[in-house]
């Protein structure tokens, strides 16, 4: 499976392919620099609880590039929108629609621009998450290899996975411990198991 290399700044890009009835276009990105647009947010109900989505909207109107997806009680994430964020459901309507289809078992990948913020190392690890196919899992060591990192970097890789700002969209739930344990998921192991069950077909 191919992936699009993420960049720190510049405009976002999108691309898509389809297979059968489920859309399989990947969510592709370039990041945006701080201050390059307005941060907007919305909420959506999901089987994981009420998710908060935020994104960067260029100018005053138009769709936003998705920056974060967080679940209630998620570690290392804001529990509420920041004071200077603007509530704008329309700007994030496409990510909400695609996530809704994903939860219904109708979509296996995502096709909208992303704008995650992180160090160069973390962005490489997050980009490698895109290469894990739907319904499959890898270990942290295998993810390090996918990202071109040394196996000795597995602890740092785990830290990057735990800091993934794009829950579900960047599928960190597909990364397991070396012994197959459900570890390292900031939104909780029960939610990780639910997502893996969804992707295995066990829920439909």
Residues labelled as active-site residues? 172
The C-alpha angle with vertex 110 and arms to 108 and 111, in degrees rounded to 5, equals 140
Contact predicate 138/96, CB 8 Å: no
In three-state form (DSSP H/G/I as H, E/B as E, the rest C), the secondary structure along 25-38 is CCCCECCCCCCCCE
Other CB atoms within 10 Å distance of the CB of residue 27: 23
Contact predicate 43/67, CB 8 Å: no
- φ, ψ dihedrals at 18, nearest 5°: -130, 145
- Which residues make Cβ contacts (< 8 Å) with residue 74, sequence separation at least 6? 167, 186, 187, 188
DSSP letter assigned to residue 23: E
């Amino acid at each position: 499976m191919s992936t699009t290399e993420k960049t720190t700044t510049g405009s976002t890009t999108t691309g898509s392919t389809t297979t059968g009835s489920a859309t399989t276009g990947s969510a592709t990105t370039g990041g945006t620099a701080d201050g390059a647009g307005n941060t907007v947010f919305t909420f959506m109900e999901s089987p994981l609880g009420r998710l908060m989505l935020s994104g960067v909207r260029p100018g005053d109107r138009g769709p936003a590039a998705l920056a974060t997806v967080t679940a209630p009680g998620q570690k290392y994430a804001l529990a509420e929108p920041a004071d200077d964020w603007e509530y704008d459901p329309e700007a994030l309507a496409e990510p909400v629609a695609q996530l809704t289809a994903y939860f219904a078992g109708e979509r296996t990948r995502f096709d909208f621009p992303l704008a995650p913020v992180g160090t160069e190392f973390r962005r490489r690890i997050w980009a490698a998450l895109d290469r894990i196919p739907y319904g499959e899992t890898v270990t942290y060591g295998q993810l390090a290899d996918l990202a071109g990192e040394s196996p000795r970097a597995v602890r740092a890789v785990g830290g990057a996975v735990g800091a993934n700002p794009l829950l579900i969209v960047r599928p960190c739930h597909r990364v397991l411990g070396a012994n197959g344990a459900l570890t390292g998921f900031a939104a909780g192991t029960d939610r990780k198991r639910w997502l893996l069950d969804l992707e295995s077909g066990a829920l439909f």
